[in-house]
Structure 1
Amino acid sequence: MNQILSLFAIYIALFLFGMTVMRQGLLHLQGDRMKDWLHKAVDHPLKSLSIGIVVTALLQSSSAVMVMTVGLVATGYLSFRHSIGIILGVNIGTIATLEILAFDLTWLIFPLLIIGVPLLMTKSHLLFSIGCFLFGFSSIIIAMHGFETLTYPLSSLTLVYDWILSTNEHNIVALTAGIIISALIQSSSAVTAIAMSFMNENLLILPAGISIMLGANLGTCVTAWLASIGGSKESKLTAYAHIWVNVFGILLFIPFVQLFSYYIETLSSIPSQQLAHAALIFNVVCSLLFLPIIQYFAKFIQWVHKTPIE
């Protein structure tokens, strides 16, 4: 039991390590430019949404982009109201990782390592950054493969088996698990990737996987909230807005998870792809619903948290 749990923890750490290394490689290449893009996302909600999608898809980290956004709001370079469009885009952009990982990419592991590792030894800024990206992405694929190899050994443990049964039977349990685990490891992508692995082995049903994904979206908001502590009033409101967007999204979707699952099953027969598609549709629908009412949503956030802005 200890060996299985230790391996599982190692694969989670490897996934997060891969995400970090890949993100650092992209930041080295485009970090300042991406901050400039976020800074310029101030004149139209649709533009803010688009920039949020692009920057998050490139960095592959909603948490990193949200921390940037909170930082820009805290320093006054971006207003709270204009940050909401970015938040909506962030939720969509982060799904790019899941859509890619939904395919079997194990054949890419060795080519990526063979190319990426030597590049890490170079003194060229460009080549080193590319090496970080390739090495980080290969680490993520290895971790995904590791999750799948451990699904059955893990499910043989009484505690894990009982948890799987409870999540399959009760969507609220799955939702809560997604929130807690994502808040702890600070990666909604990692939590959803684990759910995808269990689904591929037919241990977790689609409604439970969707519920875990919904919870993971909310749990990862903790990062932006922590980044806002000690910041300006507007930066705190930005973090709260990120939380409320996902809370309202969950309230909208969780009563219809079963119906939503039936629809998603028509899009693909592969469980991991089903969950990736569900995550994409959920975030796109929520973002498009909030986009036309950003001004009213901003006022709601200010009212709930009793934080008027001059």
Structure 2
Amino acid sequence: MSWLGFFAGIGIFLIAMQTLEQALQRLSGKGMRNLLQRTTHSPVGSVLSGGFSTAILQSSSMVGLMVLAMVGSGLLPLYNAIGMMLGANLGTTMTGWLVTILGFKLSLSVASIPLMGLGGLVMVSNTGHGRRKAAGQLAFALGLLLFGLDVMKDSVAVLSERFDPGMFADAPLWLLLVIGCVFAAIIQSSSATMLITLNALSHDVISLPMAAAIIVGADLGTTSTLLLGGMTGTANKKRVAMAHLVFNVFTAVLAYALLLPFLPDLLAWFGMSDPLYSLVFFHSLFNLIGVLVMMPLLKPLARRLEQWFVHVAEPTCAFLADVPARWDPIGQVAALRQFQILFQRVLSSIESRLYPPPQRALTEPSWPVDVQSTRAKAQVAQQGCAEMTQFLVAASTANHHSEGPLQLLHGVRALQYALQALEDLQDEQEHMEGVTTALLKGELEQRLEQELSVLEALAQSARQMPPAADWRATLERLDGQIAQRHDAFVVRQYQFGADNTITVTDMTVVIGFSKALEQLLRHLLKGCRDWCELQSLSVNEDGSTASSS
């Protein structure tokens, strides 16, 4: 029965940590993202923000996703992203301190049932996914975590009476390191490994040096998460995963070869006598030393990693390649940045196909290195729309059809319609090959020249994130100008027809061209409007949007 309680305690602890992570993400999602953006402008700030956010969110995986999103969107240089991952490693050591203090020293298990009950009541009495429900979820998760700790402590206490720790007396420490590494890699949780080790240590199942070796291995085993995710990811994802591995290998060697042999003297020097506190102190110490040693090497390491991963195929939607399809703060910032690039690519395709060289270079978006021709760029823009649509549909489903991804999806569809209107416009140009009068050719050139100002204004809007304060007035003014110019063009063509200056057939062709141009520009305005509107809204806890005012 004790073994059953032991494994039940592990399961309860893992689900409690997952629930706690979700609650903290909802309570601090956007604020945490803004904090990371403000504090990651230097290597020191990156390390500190990575450690702080991991200690708060209790999830280095969540921080890792934030790091990947900000690197992909250009908000964070690679070496600062590596700094954040170093800080995240240090932040995960906070779990050991919390488990030791709350679960072993203060014996707060008596509060587990009231916390679960209170949290459950708050959760069921608040519909949706708002802050109150997240607070209830947080209380429930804390109670569940304490309950899981209590179940494990009781089961290990029974096991320790039947277990002879002498069987491990001759086991080499390197073997325990390997066991900790493999176990953490399998369960994908260094926190659970720390919990199990603390339980065993508290009941004298293992000695302190043996526990320390297991924890060193557990830190190394957690690198498997990013390594597995980075194998098929983008270049930046591979670089961050490799940096995480390099750091953890370095700290493992440091802890095992230089600190572990002198562990008793080291703890005595720091005045540590309690075995549980000694273990979590050792865990924090070797990670802190590793951070201090590696911090001056961040930029050289980043440069070397950029040299290693250069021949990696670039996906069409690079900002979304490393982000789960969820409308959380990570998915939102990645999707908005990806839409910005997509909008610029659509503008560039329109410019290159409607205006002959020398072009005005309204916008200079980033293109995959193997994309050069005008037709290939249009195909990339169309593929980008398809990939963004797939991401946003999945994000909307994952977030209970919240408003945010659906609104941006309308913007993506507007860009698809604009690309289709471009094809229609080129069909109209082919029909105009029979137009030979200098008057009509001049009219068509003037019509295109008139709307160039709209494209220039949209290109300016696409470079601003967040949008300018007067974006609504700007887009309404452009919309009015487009309608007025088309109407004036149609009236002028009717006048030419009435004067027999042009034929009815030619008049129909050029009016159709003007109408197709008007539709194209209106679709672009619609896409820009949805994008700007979404940026001007604040993200609620449930992933929906509400006006920031």
Please state which band the TM-score falls in when normalised by the shorter chain: 0.7 to 0.9
Q: Give, as a single letter, the amino acid of the residue that structure 1 aligns with 2:155.
A: L
Alignment of 1:263 with 2:266, yes or no, is yes
Cα distance in 2 for partners of 1:12, 1:65 equals 23
Instruction: Measure how far apart 1:247 and its partner are.
Output: 0.3
Query: Residue 175 and residue 140 in structure 1: after superposition, are their counterparts in 2 closer, same or farther (change >3 A)?
Result: same
Do 2:197 and 2:214's aligned partners in 1 also have CA atoms closer than 8 Å?
A: yes
Q: Does 1:129 align with 2:127?
A: no
The TM-score, its normalising length taken from structure 1, stands at: 0.88
SS in structure 2 at match of 1:86: helix
Equivalent residue for 2:89? 91
CA displacement 1:105-133 (0-9 Å, x = unmatched): 32332342243222122317222111111
Consecutive unaligned residues of structure 1, counting only runs of 5 or more, are: none
In the aligned structure 1, how far is the partner of 2:72 from the partner of 2:225?
Answer: 15
Partner of 1:101: 99
Aligned counterpart for 2:25 among listed residues 9, 24, 27: 27
* Aligned equivalent of 2:57, options 56, 59, 62: 59
Give the 3 Å change call, closer, same or farther, for CA 217–282 of structure 1 in structure 2.
same
- Mapped pair 1:113 → 2:116: yes
Q: Deviations over 1:270-293 (max 9, x none)?
A: 322211111111111111111122
Residue number in structure 2 paired with 1:142: 147
Q: Distance in 2 between matches of 1:77 and 1:245?
A: 23
Count, aligned residues? 303
Distance 1:258 1:150 in 2: 31
Please state which structure has a larger fraction of its residues in helix.
1
1:231 corresponding residue in structure 2:
233
CA distance in 2, matches of 1:300, 1:155: 49
More contact order relative to length (CA 8 Å, sep ≥ 6)? 1
Partner-residue secondary structure (3-state), 2:290: helix
1:23 Cα deviation after fit: 1.0
In structure 2, stretches of 5+ residues that fail to align are 312-368, 370-549
Q: Distance in 1 between matches of 2:298 and 2:169?
A: 34
Secondary structure in structure 1 of the residue aligned to 2:132:
helix
User: Separation in 2 of the partners of 1:174 and 1:297?
Assistant: 30
Deviates more, 1:34-43 or 1:53-62: 34-43
CA RMSD of aligned residues (A): 2.5
Residue 177 (structure 1) aligns with: 179
Which one of 247, 253, 257 corresponds to residue 255 of structure 2?
A: 253
AA partner of residue 237 (structure 1): R
User: Are the aligned partners of 2:160 and 2:204 in contact in 1 as well (CA < 8 Å)?
Assistant: no
**Residues 135-190 of structure 1 deviation map (CA, whole Å, 9 limit, x = unaligned):** 112222222222222225445778xx68x844873111111111111111111011
Superposition deviation, residue 45 in structure 1: 0.3
How do 1:193-208 and structure 2 match up within 5 A?
193-208=195-210
Q: Which residue of 2 aligns with 1:212?
A: 214
Larger Rg: 2
Q: Aligned-pair distance for 1:232?
A: 1.3
Distance 1:72 1:113 in 2: 35
> CA distance change for structure 1 residues 261 and 74 in 2, over 3 Å: closer, same or farther?
farther
Which amino acid letter does the alignment assign opposite residue 239 of structure 2?
Answer: L
Alpha-carbon contact 1:183-1:219 (below 8 Å) kept: yes
3-state DSSP of counterpart to 1:238 = helix
Measured in 1, the distance between the counterparts of 2:31 and 2:243 equals 25
Match of 2:46 among 30, 45, 48: 48
- Normalized against structure 2, the TM-score is what? 0.51
The answer to whether the Cα contact below 8 Å between 1:74 and 1:231 also exists between their aligned partners in 2 is no
Q: How far is the alpha carbon of 1:66 from its aligned partner?
A: 1.6
Q: Secondary structure at the match of 1:202?
A: coil
**1:17 maps to which residue?**
15
CA distance in 1, matches of 2:170, 2:116: 37
